[in-house]
Amino acid sequence: MDIFSNCERCFLIVAVFCGLLLAVLMPPLMGADEPAHFARIYSLTQGRVSSIVVDNQAGNYVPEALKQFEDFWHPMVVDSTIKTNFSQIKKSMEIAASGANTEFINQCYQTLYSPLAYLPQSAGVLAAKIFTGSVYWLLLSAKLFLLAFYIAAGYFAIKITPVFKWVFLLVLLMPTSLSLGASVSADGVVIALCALFFAFVFRYAFDESSKMDKKAVVLFSLFTIALALIKQSFLISLFVFFIPAHKFGSLKSYLSKLALILLPGAISAVLWSMYCRGWFVPLNGSNPFEQAGFILAHPFTYLLTILKTVKFCFVMWIYMAIGVLGWNNVFLFPPVYVLYIIAFILNLVFKTSAERASTSLFQKCVLGGLFLINFLFIATELYLSWTPPYFTKLIMFIQGRYLIPVLIPLLALLGFIFVSSRDRSRKIDIVTLGIIAVTYLNTFLSVFVLYYF
């Protein structure tokens, strides 16, 4: 079979090869917030769903070997001039999580993520525990299990969606996306799950044979529950409104099915928030209640802060979403970012389809409006929990990777608006794969130079 005629197969080949290299080449705990993620995962494998607060830090007691392992690699986190090599990696393999001694590890805001956000990673740790106690191999196994989930979800997302297959591929293969999928971060889970969710949304929106029957309602209900429990992403499930109303049947059926889809997720979000509220520790001197009051009292001032943040950080967010790895210190060459943007433009503009042309104004408003709502939610959440009170200059803690889960609907909106009458799919597919190849050559070179050379 011609590789270019099967988008999901292209994704599978690239994701497996490049994902495995990223999982192995990235030194331990060099992914963003990876120490806290891994400590949370290990706590879950011990059956400790709840966290505790010690000295104004939320976390849990884990084998002291995890703290030794973190301390072993911590110098590379704070000083990018420090390099590693195979001998050092081999030495870290000797640190084993054995014995009764435990130590408290701060798990930061990762304590607020439900166990569902770490299900693949926890399975990887439990599987590795059967054979070894080495913290290094437990961590690597967690990475590989998440990578397997990420690749499987991405493969079926591309296979299921009737439109924008190559846009899905490009989003899922952005170095930032794939590196998160090859780490132990909860971001890898939510990106993969969102891609699968949007694939089903497009399928039920455009495939005339797909009706919103009972099975579909159950499917989307499970999605909303999962999204609500993974990084509190319930608002993403509102994109179900993109599916035309006539797919649900009568008006009564439409309203009842929407309620059955959305209410379980909303209830799950509320219940989990109530369950874990005692573990929340404000950061950077923030005061959520005081800052919420400030927003309500000065909405236009806060909106101006949002606009200033977008203006100042927009280009940085694009770079970070496409390919800034590690602790935001592994960069690509600037022309590579431009090439990747060109790949998106080519696949959005010069690939036409009847389904895209028939999109209604309401559907376009759903895509654009809900993207803005989700963005405002992310910004406000970070403002309330990370920013000092009355700070109105910039919300500096928004990172490009936070926007990846809702990037597909934004790109789909652009694709629905800017449609060319010429279809040059085959040539564009070849160019796209060439850009991906160049991007990952640069990615591996950057990782090698920063961490090993």
Domain boundaries, given as residue ranges, for the chain: 3-451
What percentage of the chain reaches a pLDDT higher than 70?
96
**Residue 357: is its pLDDT beyond 60?**
no
Please state whether the predicted TM-score (pTM) of the whole model is above 0.85: yes
Q: pLDDT at residue 314 above 60?
A: yes
Has residue 355 got a pLDDT over 50?
Answer: no
Q: Taking Cα atoms as reference points, which of 66, 49, 51, 169 lies closest to residue 117?
A: 49
What digits encode the pLDDT tens for the residues 212-270? 999 999 999 999 999 999 887 889 999 999 999 999 989 999 999 999 999 999 999 99
User: Rounded to an integer, what distance in angstroms lies between the CA atom of residue 367 and that of residue 148?
Assistant: 29
Q: Per-residue pLDDT for 392 more than 50?
A: yes
d(C-alpha 398, C-alpha 310), whole Å: 10
Q: Is pLDDT of 134 > 70?
A: yes
pLDDT for 353 beyond 90: no
Q: Does the structure show a pLDDT above 70 at 64? A: yes
DSSP assignment of 89-101: HHHHTT-B--SS-
| DSSP type of residue 184 | S
Q: Supply φ then ψ for residue 226, to 5 degrees.
A: -65, -45
Determine the Cα–Cα distance for residues 147 and 139; give it in Å rounded to an integer. 12
**pLDDT for res 204:** 95
> Which among 233, 220, 232 has a CA at the least distance from the CA of 264?
220
Tens digits of per-residue pLDDT, 171-190?
999 999 999 999 999 999 99
What is the rounded average pLDDT of the residues 58-75?
Answer: 92
Q: What is the mean pLDDT of the chain?
A: 91
Burial annotation 217-237 (CB, 10 A radius, 16+ → b, else e): beebbebbbbbbbbbbbbbbb
The helix-helix angle for 7-25 and 135-160 (nearest 10°) equals 160
Can you spell out the DSSP letters for 353-410?
-HHHHT--HHHHHHHHHHHHHHHHHHHHHHHHHHS-TT--S--TT--GGGGGGGHHHH
Comparing CA positions, the residue from 43, 31, 183, 15 lying closest to residue 105 is 43
Helix (H) or strand (E) holding 59: strand 57-63
Q: What percent of the chain has pLDDT over 90?
A: 71
Tokens (6 digits) for 71: 């301390």
Question: Distance between CA 345 and CA 340 in Å, rounded?
Answer: 9
Pairwise pLDDT comparison (275 vs 277), residue with the higher score: 275
pLDDT at site 5: 64
Q: What would the mean pLDDT of 54-62 be, rounded to a whole number?
A: 88
Per-residue pLDDT at 352: 57
How far is residue 102's CA from residue 104's CA, in Å, rounded to a whole number?
7
pLDDT reading at 326 higher than 70? yes
- Asked if pLDDT for residue 43 goes beyond 90, the answer is yes
Q: What is the mean pLDDT of residues 89-104?
A: 89
Supply the pLDDT for residue 423. 56
Please give the Cα distance from 296 to 290 (Å, whole number): 10
- The angle that helices 64-78 and 34-45 make with each other, rounded to 10 degrees, is 170
- Cα dihedral: 110, 385, 28, 141 (round 10): 20
Indicate if the pLDDT at residue 1 is higher than 50.
Answer: no
Is residue 201 pLDDT above 70, yes or no? yes
